[in-house]
Structure 1
Amino acid sequence: MFIGVKKIKGSIFEVGKRLYSDNPNGGSPFNSEEFIIFFKNVKQEKKNIYKELRKKSGVYIFINNITNQLYIGSSINLTKRMVSYYYYTNSDKLSKFVIIRAMKKYGLENFSLGILEFCKQDPKICLELEQKWIDFYKPKYNVLTVAGNSAGFKHSVETINKLKKILSGENHPNFGNITSFETKRAISEGIKNFYLTNNHPSKGLKGVLSSQYGIGGELVFCYSKTGKELIFPSINAARQHFKVRWTKIKKNLDTQEWVTLQDEEWIIQSMPKQK
């Protein structure tokens, strides 16, 4: 009737559920009895969701009742996480998250919410449990198959710059949030433990040799009086090339004034020169 679940070291579930194996996905997400708590209509049961999840942490699942597609997530503060879903779904702001876009498209009234597990308020435990349920259900709305990790999912520099502009300031999902010392320490320890037993081709490489060199930065276009054109993936990349301070590049960006770099006059722009 059920398959075993390996106990996770150092944790343990305050409340747990069995993993049923009577369908191809490994479990039926549409039977409310399989969940610790189940909310049929996310829009109508907003107050109940806030009330029942107050001061709790754990793993949750969203069910699109029209397409039957799923999304699984976890949080050390489930109420706060649900607040963000309501806020971004009802706002006019663009979102990079597939589940938010789906909620905007189909409406919150067509989504159900199930709580798969409650657990201790520990980010590491939450992510371990989330990974277990992602592996179990294989939800289509989870673009990344590793909980809390973007490994194997790489945006172009242009896409990253667009997302940075869209999700900057008050539009950022974590705007106003303050990460606790305990959370920072847990994340740091998790990263250290991962690289003790895992390796990657860029380990130990720095500067231009690093795979992360310039990624996520603002494109910089440099044009000299002699007709040269240099394009850099970030301000940091430009300042390393010219061997100047970061502020030297930043302050002269888009001023349309000539600046001396390595004994040559340059104009520095964030957009390519119009031909």
Structure 2
Amino acid sequence: MSFTASLQFCRFYVAESSNKNNSKDITPVVIYPNADLSKSRILADNLNTICVYRWVNKINGDIYVGSSTNLRVRLYTYYSLGSLSQSSRIIDRALLKYGYSNFSFEILEYCTKENVIEREQYYIDFFKPVYNIVEKAGSTLGYKHTDLPRRGWSGRRARSSPPGLIKATLRS
């Protein structure tokens, strides 16, 4: 039996009750309860999807809220172990630590390019997610890099040679 989602039958906005203190009052548009077992379905369903999404750690309840104008491309980075192992983002570290099977992946709302950041901000304000580093959607403004990434950047600058030096070395 094959399941194919048809957008004509999906809600485009999330349902919520008046109790803003309980995150269980938000009903996602689509829920993939096991991000490991559902990987191929998640990728297949979300080509060119513009939405706000949420990762939920099923062990401790911590969440991450994000948005994308092409969800499949974003998901490929989440499912790339090489990319995750190089990252210092909290959500990436949590996915590695707990494993995909201990996370659910949810689409909170389908959006347009014009309103996706605004809607992401709404959910960040609503959930106050633990895995989000900054409180402002679509920005790393206010994020203070740790010493580790900063040392890596300075090392790259020190190793890079000025173009004139490269040319002189090649000529000799």
1:17 to 1:156, Cα distance in 2 relative to 1, 3 A: closer
* Residue 50, structure 1, aligned to residue 50, structure 2: no
2:141 to 148, 151, 161: 151
1:22 match: 19
Name 1:251's counterpart in structure 2: 165
Note the aligned Cα RMSD (angstroms): 3.1
SS in 2 for 1:218: helix
CA distance in 2, matches of 1:156, 1:92: 17
- The number of aligned residues is 157
Determine what percentage of the aligned residue pairs are the same residue: 31
| Distance apart, 1:95 and its partner CA | 1.2
Check the 8 A contact 2:50/2:67 in 1, yes or no: yes
SS in 2 for 1:18: coil
Structure number with greater Rg is: 1
Q: Map of 1:218-237 to 2, 5 A cutoff?
A: 218=157
Instruction: Give unmatched runs, 5+ long, in structure 1.
Output: 1-13, 166-216, 221-234, 236-245, 256-275
Moved over 4 A (4+): none
Cross-structure match for 2:6: none
For 1:40, the equivalent position in structure 2 comes to 33
How far has the Cα of 1:48 moved from its partner?
Answer: 1.3
Aligned AA (2:56): I
TM-score by length of 2: 0.76
Superposition deviation, residue 154 in structure 1: 2.5
Higher helix share: 2
Match of 1:110 among 66, 88, 102: 102
Deviations 1:239-270 (A, max 9, x none): xxxxxxx948x839xx9xxxxxxxxxxxxxxx
Does residue 100 (structure 1) correspond to residue 97 (structure 2)? The answer is: no
User: Relative contact order, CA 8 A, sep 6+: which one is greater?
Assistant: 2
Deviation at 1:219, TM superposition (A): 5.8
Q: Per the alignment, do residues 163 and 44 of structure 1 end up closer, same or farther by CA in structure 2, a change over 3 Å counting?
A: farther
